[in-house]
Structure 1
Amino acid sequence: MTGLTLAALLAGGLLILALAGYALHLWRRVWAQQRDQAQVEQERHERLGGDLQILASSLLDGQLPLIEGAIRIKVLLDNYDSSLSQDSRCQVFHLLFEATAQVPTHGDWKALDKSVRRQHERHFNELELQHKAAARSAARWLLEEALAPARKRA
């Protein structure tokens, strides 16, 4: 083996080691980023679970109007756990959400003519009479069974 061949092999080996070290450095960054993302997702999940517990409790205590509570719970459930959201015991939240989806909110609600607002309010009252028991039962189920495991872990 000539000196030139030996130098080329040595340079190639050093280049391979340098590239392997850089690859390891990049993989460590990826793993750290994945850990950080998992932690952020876990914190988000815990925060949503806590918010769901507050909303369900408020709905049961009468501190939150049924329609508003159902809409908020449905949206949070969709973000918290889509399979839990699709559970048959939570369908009342979806039903109330869909039944009120066309109702304007915020500034658009205030801009409505009073007679139109009253029509919507009558519709809300009818929906509440029809679905209050089911919504309360679903909220109780969320608190006592569906969200209870998350509360025990915290």
Structure 2
Amino acid sequence: MNALHLAWFLGSLLIVGLAGYALYLWRQVWARQRAQTQAERERQERIGGDLQILAGSLLEGQLPLIEGAIRIKVLLDNYDSQLSRDQRCEVFHLLFEATAEVPTHAAWKALDKQQRRQHEKRFNELELQHKAAARSAARWLLDEGLEQPRKRA
């Protein structure tokens, strides 16, 4: 009987030890989940702030329309895909797609003057055609659109 009690005691001790270790591991999982949730919340706030700055700059004329539309579209995709697909933001997607083939950075600098002028002419045409819609979309984002994700969260 003495050996049976010892085995039962050791088995119980082993179970308690494993349960304690499992609890320790679950606490680590929960802490990581909280940290990931906090990091995602901070990311959303940062992108939302960037979107507000870009939309405001676009409205105030401090940012070229095409550049602003491209930047807003990319950030919207990362901020809230549902908001990005909203019909009122369609102009940002349209301008993004219309300029997708335009080289950037060093490739832009490598273009000859005639090629750059052709792209700039296209930019001007797009701006004339879509300026009112882009400004309206930026105003809607500032007034209503960027508030919706916060309400859902």
Q: Aligned Cα RMSD in Å?
A: 1.3
1:95 and 1:150 map into 2 onto residues whose CA distance is 23
Tell me the percent identity.
Answer: 74
- In structure 2, the partner of 1:72 is 71
What is the 5 A alignment of 1:22-41?
22-41=21-40
Per-residue deviation, 1:92: 0.4
SS at match of 1:147: helix
Query: 2:51·2:75 contact (CA, 8 Å) conserved in 1?
Result: yes
2:147 and 2:8 map into 1 onto residues whose CA distance is 63
- In structure 2, the partner of 1:16 is 15
Deviations 1:95-146 (A, max 9, x none): 0000000000001001001000000000000000110000000000000001
Deviations 1:12-70 (A, max 9, x none): 10000000000000001110111011001100000000000000000000000000000
Q: Does 1:136 align with 2:148?
A: no
SS at match of 2:144: helix
SS at match of 2:102: coil
Per-residue deviation, 1:83: 0.4
2:67 and 2:41 map into 1 onto residues whose CA distance is 27
SS at match of 2:63: coil
SS at match of 1:101: coil
Q: What are structure 1's unaligned runs of at least 5 residues? A: none
2:118 and 2:148 map into 1 onto residues whose CA distance is 41
2:103 and 2:148 map into 1 onto residues whose CA distance is 36
1:43 and 1:122 map into 2 onto residues whose CA distance is 40
Q: What are structure 2's unaligned runs of at least 5 residues? A: none
1:137 and 1:150 map into 2 onto residues whose CA distance is 19
Per-residue deviation, 1:148: 3.6
Query: 1:46·1:150 contact (CA, 8 Å) conserved in 2?
Result: no
What is the 5 A alignment of 1:61-100?
61-100=60-99
Query: 1:49·1:150 contact (CA, 8 Å) conserved in 2?
Result: no
Per-residue deviation, 1:147: 1.5
- TM-score normalized by the length of structure 1: 0.95
Number of residue-to-residue matches in the alignment: 151
Per-residue deviation, 1:149: 5.6
